[in-house]
Amino acid sequence: MSMNKYRPELGRPASGRRRLKDLLLQSDNRCCADCNAPDPKWASANIGVFICLKCCGVHRSLGTHISKVLSVTLDDWSEDEVEAMIEVGGNASANSIYEAYFPEGYTKPGPDASHEQRAKFIRSKYELQEFLKPSLRIVSGKSSLGSSSAKSFMDSFKSSSTQRLAW
Ligand SMILES: [Zn+2]
């Protein structure tokens, strides 16, 4: 109370919305995380990226278990959802994970990409997680590539921890 940090008379939801707006104003969030279109007004609250309306449509089609889409201006955000966005840290930070490894010569779609190009890219990026760091692909458990590298990762982890226990 003496810290005067919280001012209950100003109400609660404003602080979450203010923080979300601040995050949106961060320079890397001024463009869509998926196609670089300027001024994104949508976000995937569980992935932690700001996206444009067109990409939002594709995200929605993936289902909320993969991407939970919310409007920055129109939807009500829970404190947890705002918190999750802030924790990811914005588009650049999210893309450093989801776009860690593009195949050689690969170009991600731009703002004028067709719906098909856009949909294919977004599925590859978030659903199949094809561009993720191999060690992070464990969570997907979908692609055979992922499971084989996950296995060798686990094997090396196991042998090193066994060694540590043994010695
Ligand atoms: Zn976009």
**104 and 156: one domain?**
no
Q: 125 and 138: one domain?
A: no
Q: Is residue 148 scored above 80 in pLDDT?
A: no
Give distance in angstroms: CA of 82 to centre of ligand 1.
20
Query: pLDDT: is 156 or 5 the higher one?
Result: 5
Is residue 68 domain-shared with residue 84, that is, in the same domain? Answer: yes
pLDDT score for 90: 97
Predicted local distance difference test score (pLDDT) of residue 17:
87
Q: Separation of 164 CA from ligand 1 center, angstroms?
A: 47
46 plus 95 within the same structural domain = yes
Residues with CB under 5 A from ligand 1 (ion): 32, 34-35, 37, 52, 55
Whether residue 55 lies inside any domain: the answer is: yes
How much distance in Å is there from the Cα of 36 to the middle of ligand 1? 6
Distance 40 CA to ligand 1 centre (A): 7
pLDDT at 101: 93
**Mean pLDDT rounded to a whole number for the chain:** 82
Centre of ligand 1 to C-alpha 18, Å, is 23
Structurally, the chain folds into a number of domains equal to: 2
What's the CATH code of the domain at 69?
Answer: 1.10.220.150
160 and 92 share a domain? no
CA distances from 60 to 44, 67, 162 (A): 9, 7, 44
Tokens of 41: 């007004």
Asked if residue 137 has pLDDT above 80, the reply is no
**Which structural domain, as residue segments, surrounds residue 151?**
134-167
In a domain, 2, yes or no: no
Here the tokens at position 84 are 């999750």
pLDDT: which is higher, 88 or 154:
88
Per-residue pLDDT of 31-76, as tens digits, reads 999 999 999 999 999 999 999 999 999 999 999 999 999 999 999 9
Alpha carbon separation from 126 to 28, 56, 72, 95, 120 (Å, rounded): 19, 13, 20, 11, 10
In the predicted model, is pLDDT for residue 27 greater than 60? yes
Examine residue 1 and state whether it is found in any structural domain, yes or no.
no
Structure tokens at 52: 């444009």
